[in-house]
Structure formats: structure tokens, C-alpha cells
Amino acid sequence: MNDNDEKEIIESIESGEWESVKDFNAVKNQLMKAASETALKDYRINVRVSKRDVEALKTKALEEGIPYQTLVTSILHKYVTGKLTESSNRNFA
């Protein structure tokens, strides 16, 4: 992270773009559980993703206090196991 990244984060916080997570510990525990369920990583994939999407993922991960790769793995795991659907993703994190 460079100075410009930090400046953008500070500006976004000061402008009111951030929302507190209701019951942060419950959400964090839920994501930590999902991450631990996917901890056995025995296969690597490469995917090209837009810069905007990666930045949004990094922001979400920062809000949750986890690495963005862990968040991506968790989202993929939930999707393929049917725990994340189009209607439920509006409530995700």
C-alpha cells in the first residue's frame, strides 16, 4: 500500500463512505470459519479480474480484517456449495 492508497482510504472514511458492520464479531467469525473450511488449498488457478473489482475486493477484505485472497476463496467456496446465491449476495459481508 502506498501513500496515495492510504490517502484515498482516509478521504473515503472522512466523507462517510464507510458503514459499521452490525455485529462485527459474528460476521468476522463467519468469514473466519469459511476461510478455515477452505484452508486446504491444493490447487492454484489464475483468473484475470478488472482493477475495479480487485480494489472492491480489497476494500471488503480490509473491512473484514482478512486478506483479500482469503475473501475471494471464501466467496468461491460459498458459491459452489450453494451457500452464496444471487439473492443472498446482497447481504454478504
**pLDDT tens per residue across span 8-20:** 999 998 998 888 8
Residue with cell 480489497: 58
Phi, psi (degrees; rounded to nearest 5) at 13? -70, -45
Question: Is residue 89's pLDDT more than 60?
Answer: no
Question: Is residue 56's pLDDT more than 90?
Answer: yes
Q: What is the pLDDT of residue 38?
A: 65
Residue with cell 488457478: 45
Hey, where are the domains in the chain?
Answer: 22-91
Q: Is 31 exposed, middle or buried (0-12, 13-18, 19+ CB in 10 A)?
A: buried
Q: How far apart are CA 7 and CA 57, in angstroms?
A: 18
Q: What is the pLDDT of residue 59?
A: 95
Q: What is the pLDDT of residue 3?
A: 86
Q: How far apart are CA 84 and CA 91, in angstroms?
A: 10
